[in-house]
Amino acid sequence: MADKAKHTPGPWTIGAPFHVGQRILGPGDDKVIAQVYGSRDRGAARDRRRHLRDRRNEVADAALIAAAPDLLRMLKEANESLLARGMYPNEGMGKEIAAAIAKAEKK
């Protein structure tokens, strides 16, 4: 039997902007979970509009990553609730929820 993937427990937060990206921090802000970088396109640095777009994408990506533990927890709770109501895990939304949980847990 394979062990469940274990991630650093939440909450995860977005740290202060870093000179080359956004840091995602674990509990206590003492562990860097991930660092999100914008475009590596040198032209973007010279083109202010592209640079600002890349920066907005970087911030949005960081927010999604920081929310991941909460999203996974809520998806598991929703799955349990749906199963308790008689929804079958291999049909429709149940199949998609199970696939998303498995992807997050690397099953």
* Global confidence as pTM: 0.75
d(CA 9, CA 69): 7
Determine the distance from the C-alpha atom of residue 42 to the mean position of all C-alpha atoms in its chain, rounded to a whole number. Answer: 27
Burial of 1 (0-12, 13-18, 19+ CB in 10 A): exposed
pLDDT of residue 4: 54
Q: What is the pLDDT along the chain (107 residues), one digit of tens a residue?
A: 344 558 888 899 998 877 778 889 998 877 899 988 876 655 555 666 666 777 788 888 999 999 999 999 999 998 898 888 887 767 788 888 889 999 998 86
pLDDT of residue 45: 56
